[in-house]
Chains A and B, each alone.
Chain A
Amino acid sequence: MKEFAYERATDVRDALIAADGGARYLGGGTNLVDLMKEGVEAPTRLVDVRQLPLAGVSEAPDGGLVIGATTTNSDLAAHPEVRRRYPALSQAVLAGASGQLRNMATVGGNLLQRTRCAYFTAQVCNKRVPGTGCPAIAGEHHNHAILGWTRNCVATHPSDMAVAMLAFDAVVRYEMLDGPGEIPLAEFYPPVGDTPHCETALPPGALITAVVLPGSAVSPRSRYRKVRERASYAFATVSIAAGLDLDEGSVRIALGGVASRPWRARTAEAFLLDAPLTAEAFRAAADAELAAAEPLPGNGYKVRLAGNLIETVLKELQP
């Protein structure tokens, strides 16, 4: 690990000033510090934001919730209103990492965690040095993307939390020295295109301060299902956050483990707007969504798995 400067900020403006000119913000450090040890990340300065007064979950005027960026994953998952109104989000967070990691990891940091593609951590690739190629496409890609990838990168986004947040149309709030801003989570992670190293739409130097969950008729009847190679402490092979509004007959579906970003299954959602909520329709909606899938030789099983999950979890959400 390279030597770096460290400072702890106690208010947002101090953090922004301290980071001006190219520092990295340090939340729980559960991903960044690992990457620093591996030499993947080599910041010269860290600004520790865990002490900022941003932790906690509060009510939003529209009936939603505002989740402070330094809220720990554990506190988010345990919050009674999150569990009541957004059960899929609580389940998603609890499906990730381990108890110790969730106690450290923050909501803002979770959104910014980086892919666990083995090539990314062990050697250079397009995500680390543009133009160096994507060894996973011709190489080991058993757990790589089936949707939205390009020849430049086939890595997946590792977050469980962000999948559930995406299903509920979350909005990311941030602060910069010249003022606040916000980005819908649906636009937070840009498509891979030919810039796989550009992983978020967050402006340089911006500090995530909160994630806003809009009030939702879909979220109370929601669940998260994570499929993985072992019972805990593994990243998703494929995961799904789904919610069902029985009054409107509408659904929300987001998938994890299938793309460079949490994947909102809008095609399937649109299909079900005009369809009866039956097992056959769920399967047809899944097929419609996954018609766009482009599996590689080693990960075709994810198409079937994602289809199975969409059908099964939507069925489970029905009364």
Chain B
Amino acid sequence: MKNAVGVAQPRIEGRAKVTGAARYAADVPIPGLAFGAVVLATVSLGRIRDIDVSAVQDMAGVLGVIDHRNAPRLNPKAGGFFGPDGQLQLLQDEVIPFAGRPVALVVAETLEQAQAAAEALPVTYDEEPHDTGFTADHPASRPAVAIFDEPVNVGDVEAELAASSVVVEEQYCTPEEHCSAMEPHSATAWWEGERLEAIDSNQGPFSIAVTLATLFSLSPDLVHVRTEHVGGGFGSKGLCGPQLILAAMAALLFGRPVRVTLTRAQVFLATAMRPAINQLIRIGADADGRLRAIHHEAAFEISPLVEYLEGCTELTKTLYAARSIRTRLSAVPLDILPPYSMRGPGATPGSFALESAMDELAERLGMDPLELRLRNEPVAGPVSGLPFSSRNLVACLREGARRFSWDTRDHRPRMRREGALLVGTGLAATSFSAGAFPSSATITAETDGTFTVAIGATDLGTGARTALTAIAADALAVGTERIRLRISDSGLGPAWGAGGSRGTTSWVWAITEAAEKLRGQECRGTVTVDTTRSLGELSSRERHSFSAVFAEVTVDPVTGEVRVRRLLGMFAVGRVVNPLMARSQVIGGMIGGLSMALHEEGIRDPVSGRHVNADFAGYHIAAHADVPDIEADFVPDYEPGIPMGVKGAGEIGNVGTAAAIANAVWHATGVRQRSLPIRLDRVLE
């Protein structure tokens, strides 16, 4: 029988999506539904003086208003990956920790009535002086709480820098960026006796249900969260979102199902963003390009409400063989929306800094930037000393260079002109850590010869449903037509969510283990497995996906306009489960990287501290005309430690593109771009 894994297949639910039959969280019809409209704080720090509920309670259709005076009390221990999370403590007191904090929910019979009353609700504040101005040397800066990407200090960085023939020391800045998923966050909640039922837009219903249960001090088996289709998350749906907490509160108080859908502006103001980051890189090398030292420090903003870590230096510990490596992360608490993981957190901004600095090093060495990277290929983890489970960066670089005709490039800047335009090319190498988290799966051999495979996975639109069907078919050695896959439901048992590029790896582990067990009992009955133990037996290795990204840009020096003309990404992501969808996913990531390079920038008002451009007219993401011919392909790769050899392709597409484009802009113009986005006023001559 032929394998299903490795075969290009269109997504199972594709027809349902393009015909509108697929229901997203805000689409599911629920009898007796009421609607909640969220009111957000407009001041950056302070206290609520008053919320005049009487002004709206007689408006048409209004059922009532929830604020800190009547909201159900929440358990302050609730949190997520980064520990107890104060941003989940909605409507618990009059304190305003950031502009965009929900202060009330207006509930009405219709969405329009709820919105009208929410707009009319008078909220007054006692403002306090706020601080939303991020700088790397901010007096409040302190070491980040490194639950991963710990600071390292291998070798003697200062001595190696002093002994280096060439040293690059530069700072790189990236602004606040917003996840900007197409589908706004929406939740519908209702209570069935003691039991809380919810339909929510999120990246992992099991962990969301656990958080929700903790918040409402319920036994986890009394909370049921479903997440059938999700229109993108990019990190912002990894948390128990305000829509879900507020819907559950309203359902409790009003005794009926309540739907809360954030507006686009509210998605910007009240759901996760990437923090503003300032990075310092110092690299020293011998004249032949061999690295003596990499010093990489990153400072980023956080909120005092919850810890967060932007692991910018992870790939600095992976990519190159340097004799000494020192990294450090600092956090600056400010009165801002709490940042969270967004589109390749850490590695995406980190690679912009590291791979820009590597290009600057190549420039100062007078060396081909490709050769510089090849010359510093490590044989083991540069910091850990551990062997790589598999490392195919060189294959990505060489194959990409071949397809991009890199060998014909004149490495001097500002040498190519086409009419009024300057033309340049650039590249970046990247890595993204691979691994898996414990998950459970249940497989039942049905009497009709089919298999029901149940796992608490989520499909964000990436094709997880289709990929897991193929994986289950191969694991059971049957055709995909005999697989009945059930996902997107917290009731299916503990499972890692779609995040950290660890969805597929975590789920494939559980499915293959369950399939093996079922086959061990002659494919009869039902088996449930939990991978916690077998994951614990995984050997210590450097496990990463790798990629090389090549970009060609045009620059009009008269206007400063930068346009990307060509993008090529070569990826080593382990075994590719579904080449069609994997390609879509990494291309999507590259478009995200292009947007980061040229467009995306959350802007704060310097006076009020509020986010100013909270819509897609002001917050630009690449439009179709900005997206050039993109080529993405995979080099052969296999992860020996993870079942079926997969690594994870979820986020690496985002990584590297911004540096490749910035390097190409330098090659075109001769001017370095160390701040993103590369706006035209930064390029204009």
Known: A135-B608, A140-B606, A234-B620. 9 other contacts (CB 8 A): A2-B116, A135-B605, A227-B559, A301-B684, A305-B559, A305-B560, A305-B681, A308-B684, A309-B558
Residues of chain B lying within 8 A (CB to CB) of residue A301: 560, 680-681, 684
The reply to whether A122 and B684 contact each other, CB–CB distance below 8 Å, is no
The reply to whether A122 and B612 contact each other, CB–CB distance below 8 Å, is yes
CB of A70 closer than 8 Å to a CB of B: no
Contact flag A227-B561 (CB < 8 Å), given A39-B119, A305-B684: yes
The reply to whether A116 and B680 contact each other, CB–CB distance below 8 Å, is no
Partner of B684, one of A118, A140, A142, A304: A304
The reply to whether A231 and B612 contact each other, CB–CB distance below 8 Å, is no
7 contacts between A and B (CB under 8 A): A121-B615, A122-B614, A140-B605, A229-B598, A231-B623, A231-B626, A308-B684
Please provide the chain B residues from 615 to 641 with a CB less than 8 Å away from any CB of chain A in the complex.
Answer: 615, 617-618, 620, 622-626
The reply to whether A308 and B612 contact each other, CB–CB distance below 8 Å, is no
Please provide the chain B residues from 522 to 568 with a CB less than 8 Å away from any CB of chain A in the complex.
Answer: 558-561, 563
| Count: A-B pairs, CB below 8 Å | 84
CB of A139 closer than 8 Å to a CB of B: yes
The reply to whether A230 and B605 contact each other, CB–CB distance below 8 Å, is no
Residues of chain B lying within 8 A (CB to CB) of residue A228: 561
Residues of chain B lying within 8 A (CB to CB) of residue A227: 559-561, 680
The reply to whether B605 and A139 contact each other, CB–CB distance below 8 Å, is yes
Q: Which 10 A-B pairs have the closest CB atoms?
A: A301-B681, A231-B625, A232-B625, A227-B559, A139-B605, A233-B623, A308-B558, A140-B612, A231-B626, A118-B612
The reply to whether A1 and B112 contact each other, CB–CB distance below 8 Å, is yes
Partner of A122, one of B265, B558, B606, B680: B265
**B621 closest partner in A (C-beta):** A230
**A143 closest partner in B (C-beta):** B618
Residues of chain B lying within 8 A (CB to CB) of residue A140: 603-606, 612-613
In angstroms, Cα B681 to Cα A296, docked, is 14
**B617 closest partner in A (C-beta):** A116
Residues of chain A lying within 8 A (CB to CB) of residue B517: none
Where chain A touches its partner, the secondary structure class is: loop
CB of A260 closer than 8 Å to a CB of B: no
CB of A138 closer than 8 Å to a CB of B: yes
Residues of chain A lying within 8 A (CB to CB) of residue B612: 118-119, 122, 139-140
In angstroms, Cα B591 to Cα A230, docked, is 13
State how many residues of chain B have any CB contact under 8 Å with chain A. 36
CB of B11 closer than 8 Å to a CB of A: no
Contact flag A138-B599 (CB < 8 Å), given A1-B115, A230-B625: no
Interface string of A246-273 (1 = CB under 8 A from B): 0000000000000000000000000000
In angstroms, Cα B266 to Cα A72, docked, is 33
Please provide the chain B residues from 348 to 384 with a CB less than 8 Å away from any CB of chain A in the complex.
Answer: none
CB of B195 closer than 8 Å to a CB of A: no
In angstroms, Cα B679 to Cα A237, docked, is 11
**A304 closest partner in B (C-beta):** B684
In angstroms, Cα B684 to Cα A184, docked, is 35
Contact flag A233-B606 (CB < 8 Å), given A39-B119, A122-B612: no
Residues of chain B lying within 8 A (CB to CB) of residue A229: 598-599, 620, 679-680
In angstroms, Cα B626 to Cα A279, docked, is 31
CB of B607 closer than 8 Å to a CB of A: yes
Contact flag A138-B558 (CB < 8 Å), given A230-B623, A231-B623: no
Residues of chain B lying within 8 A (CB to CB) of residue A278: none
In angstroms, Cα B613 to Cα A235, docked, is 14
In angstroms, Cα B119 to Cα A237, docked, is 32
Residues of chain A lying within 8 A (CB to CB) of residue B560: 227, 301, 305
Residues of chain B lying within 8 A (CB to CB) of residue A234: 620, 623
The reply to whether B608 and A231 contact each other, CB–CB distance below 8 Å, is no
Residues of chain A lying within 8 A (CB to CB) of residue B618: 116, 118
Residues of chain A lying within 8 A (CB to CB) of residue B561: 227-228
In angstroms, Cα B65 to Cα A212, docked, is 54
CB of A132 closer than 8 Å to a CB of B: no
CB of A103 closer than 8 Å to a CB of B: no
CB of A312 closer than 8 Å to a CB of B: yes
The reply to whether B613 and A118 contact each other, CB–CB distance below 8 Å, is yes
Please provide the chain B residues from 106 to 154 with a CB less than 8 Å away from any CB of chain A in the complex.
Answer: 112, 115-116, 119
The reply to whether B607 and A138 contact each other, CB–CB distance below 8 Å, is yes
Residues of chain A lying within 8 A (CB to CB) of residue B558: 308-309, 312
**B595 closest partner in A (C-beta):** A230
Please provide the chain A residues from 186 to 204 with a CB less than 8 Å away from any CB of chain B in the complex.
Answer: none
Min CB gap B65→A, angstroms: 18
The reply to whether B626 and A230 contact each other, CB–CB distance below 8 Å, is yes
In angstroms, Cα B558 to Cα A304, docked, is 9
Partner of B559, one of A39, A118, A308: A308
Residues of chain B lying within 8 A (CB to CB) of residue A39: 119
Please provide the chain B residues from 477 to 515 with a CB less than 8 Å away from any CB of chain A in the complex.
Answer: none
In angstroms, Cα B265 to Cα A105, docked, is 24
Residues of chain B lying within 8 A (CB to CB) of residue A232: 623-626
